[in-house]
Amino acid sequence: MKHVFIVNPVAGKGKAVNAYISTIENYVKENNLDAEIYVTKASRDGMRYVEEKAKTGEEIRFYSCGGDGTLYEVVNGCYKYPNCQVANIPLGSGNDFCRLFGKDINLDDHVNGIPMKLDLIETDGAVAINECAMGLDSEICIRQISYKKIPMVNGELAYTLAALGCIAKGKTKNQFKITIDDNEVFEDDYLFCYIGNSRWYGGGYKAAPNAMPNDGLIDCVMVRSDRSPIKLLPLISVYKNGEHLDLDITTFRHCKKVKIESKNPAAVNVDGECAYVTEREFKLLESAITFIVPKNSEFLNM
């Protein structure tokens, strides 16, 4: 099998990622791996390169060396090709998807990890391995990018600062019609709707506390907007800790498909890729990608 390391040199402010290149080089030499390293040059360059390699039909394991954005590019580049596997070495600022597997950067644990089929979420020609969302939290996702550029500000702090800013500006109400599996409809003012394949995003916010990316189900969390912005502030920590499912403003469903229609353009987030839309459908792709679980991960015992 070919081992291809996709390195994003600006992930996590760059220092850890660039230092890791020598770790890869030394390991490859010592273990005589058939491997190559590709350092991405711009946004979507990793996706382009991965798909070019995947199309050859060669058995390839791609290692995403960076953050969740790097993983998004690797997954979208190769998920259509059954000859490919994906490993995730968490070197970014948020590293949300890997929290379920442990933030393991020991290269040997990934090279000798366990292949496992995971689900994906398809939407508008792209896929998410971690999460999708519409509403307030996606507005926050858009705004946190600028905070991440500040020295000493990590993914979690950037998300929190962006959340406070959005709440202060009243970005707290979206008129959504949400259809679950084509047969159950919810229509109200919503803070947001989270469509989770896994549990965390925003640098450590536990949006779907029970989600599993291999259970053949989407965790859909709908949170209504029924209070003033100032009264939302105490709920930030509740949401961060994954204690919001029992709130009277929260509705939870396990499902295979979610369609959201918005009266006005609303922010949508697909593994950190954001846009403004009035309608979007999210569909589960069951067992759609082979993911390498690090060999010592507790996930293997869950």
Q: Check whether residue 145 and residue 273 sit in a common domain.
A: yes
pTM of the model: 0.93
Whether 34 and 85 map to the same domain: the answer is yes
Task: Answer yes or no: is 237 within a domain.
Answer: yes
The answer on 141 and 65 residing in a single domain is no
Shared domain for 153 and 268, answered yes or no, is: yes
DSSP 3-state helix, strand, coil percentages of the chain (rounded to 5)? 30, 40, 30
SS3 labels along 121-162: EEECCEEECCEEEEEHHHHHHHHHHHHHCCCCCCHHHHHHHH
Residue-wise over 167-201: b if at least 16 C-beta within 10 A, else e?
A: beeebbbbebebbbeeeeebeeebbbbbbbbbbbb
Task: Return d(Cα 241, Cα 156) in angstroms, integer.
Answer: 12
Q: Are residues 251 and 155 in the same domain?
A: yes
Q: Please indicate, yes or no, whether residues 149 and 88 belong to a single structural domain of this protein.
A: no
> Does 262 share its domain with 140?
yes
Domain count of the fold of the chain: 2
Output the domain CATH number for residue 261: 2.60.200.40
Does residue 87 lie in a domain region? yes
pLDDT at 285: 98
The answer to the question of residue 300 being in a domain is no
155 and 105 in one domain?
Answer: no
Answer yes or no: is 126 within a domain.
no
Closest CA to 135 of 244, 246, 241, 225: 225
**CATH at 93:** 3.40.50.10330
- Domain boundary among the residues 57, 79, 112 is at 112
Look up the domain containing 36 and give its range.
Answer: 2-112
In a domain, 77, yes or no: yes
Nearest to 87 by CA among 226, 237, 294: 294
Based on the fold, state whether residues 16 and 147 are members of the same structural domain.
no
| 299 falls within a domain | no
Per-residue model confidence (pLDDT) at position 155: 67
pLDDT in tens, the chain (302 residues): 999 999 999 887 777 788 999 999 999 999 999 999 999 999 999 999 999 999 999 999 999 999 999 999 999 999 999 999 999 999 988 899 999 999 999 999 999 999 999 999 999 999 999 999 999 888 887 877 677 677 767 667 777 887 787 777 767 789 999 999 999 999 999 999 999 999 998 888 899 999 999 999 999 999 999 888 778 888 889 999 999 999 999 999 999 999 999 999 999 999 999 999 999 999 999 999 999 999 999 999 98
120 in a structural domain: no
167 lies in the same domain as 71: no
Within-domain flag for 291: no
* Domain identity same for 148 and 105: no
